[in-house]
Structure 1
Amino acid sequence: MKKVLALLFLLCLASCSDDKDQPTPSPDPAVLAKQQAPFGTSAVDVKLTKLLYNGKLFAEYFYEGDLLREQKKYLLFNVPGHYQTGSFKRNGATLESYDVEAAQWIAESQYVSDVFKPSYSIRFDAPVFDTLRTVTEENLVFLSNYTRTYLFDKQGFVKREVFLERSYGSNDITTNYIRNEQHNVVTSTATYASQPSVANRIEYEYDSHPNPFFKLGIDRNGQLAAHSLSPNNIVKETVIDAAGPVYFIEYKYEYGANGYPSRVKVESNSQGFIPYTMEFSY
């Protein structure tokens, strides 16, 4: 606990140094409401309902009003198998938790149990600062606990994430995001506590169409990750190490009348990568 409190203090100092005209450290509801989904109260304007992977059902999305309430995920068997459900719980407009239940499954026989048990739980801690939010995660399968701390810029976009594995400090990771004028993440850099001199860097390129995951607050896998952090769609990501580019991933979209993607083909020059397509239903 002392470690987490000390980290929060240092992050707040860093945030104040970066943004000297930030509000004083007492959460302003009007500021918090503008924070990036899922933390703020930004409602979706077009509701993504289904996601297909190579023609098979991969995920379904359900809403409460204009906010995401639930995501169901499916295994890509001959008959798609529903194996996981993640549910958001809110108190009014304030997000409190994201709880995931999962079923046991066997790939060889394409079996999925009809019994769902708690898999992991995320608790969204009450905000202490306008620019800082923390969540605590509990993996109920592997009995591990984590803390993620998010720092926001003055416009309410995530600019830094600090991941603390409570059991093994050597696995701690700090990820910094650099955004362009459209608030899209153009560079993400991850630094590991076990190797502070080594960082993984990814550079992103975008189109000008709206990203269906941005206002959901999660990406297609149910995480607050790169594909949910930017208002527009990634068309290319390049993974770079100290020697230069390692590989790239390209996304080739088709768009519907609503301006959102209807289909995307994903290709890469990474060894062993298998191209795939995703289709979006609204």
Structure 2
Amino acid sequence: MPTTPLVRDLLKEKQGELTASERKLSAALLEDSLVAGLQSITRLAELAEVSTPTVIRLARKLGFDGFPDLQAAIREEIAARMKRPLAKLDTARADPRDHVVSRFASAVSENINRTLDRLDLAEFDRVAELLSDPDRNLHLLGGRITRSNAHYFFNHLQIIRPQVTLMDSSPSVWPQSLLDMGPASTLIVFDIRRYERELEKLARLAVDQGANIVLFTDAWGSPIEKCATHVFRAMVEVPSSWDSTLAINFIVETLVAEVQSRRSDSSAERIAALENMIGASRIFRG
């Protein structure tokens, strides 16, 4: 798990202190998820159309002694973001003395605590208000691993309020959903490493339609951040060959509680109507 500020975050935090040339270099790094920073200082400067001294000045403004230290941090960040399941499994087996249940519980607990430490409560309230607005239509979608998170969120939101849609997992039918998106639409996307290009493309098309994006991602940040209006980052690493989405679901369940609280009267009526409908329909009985 990242224990020091990520280069991507430092670049965003320092924007107000950068010169025009440094902002140009920063944009070049962020555009390609920092991959451009793996090149030589000369090649990076050429790519961003700035001078090599500009590269050195930016590195120092970010808190590094020079470009080699910045590049080392970029390399470490990219390696952590792209860590493959087998490599994660080797790490998980490093200490066989503790039972996996204890190690997993400890990791999940730390993930939730560190996610909470980084959670912007004002941002949380803004998203809760957005999701509580009955005039907005909500579309939810997750990736290969996070599809269950999207489905869970959908199951609760569609009981609490109307105009909630769980998008099909097949990209071939996404255009139909995009047709119904506009300025009154919110696309809620779940995307953790290894990030899915199809989801990024969908998010960009949704923004082109006028929709805004609420993104749930990991500590390193999905490329969808570049077009998202609201972003929640959660810690995901556990002693397993797979990442854990329990910290993400912690935020999801808290949002469900807050949205229901904000729509207490209307959601109570909706839930009561649902119960009556189920009771009147024998096909739902065992």
Higher-strand-fraction structure:
1
Where on the TM-score scale, by shorter chain, does this alignment land: which range?
under 0.3
Q: Which has the larger radius of gyration?
A: 2
Higher-helix-fraction structure:
2
TM-score under structure 1 normalisation?
Answer: 0.28
TM-score under structure 2 normalisation?
Answer: 0.28
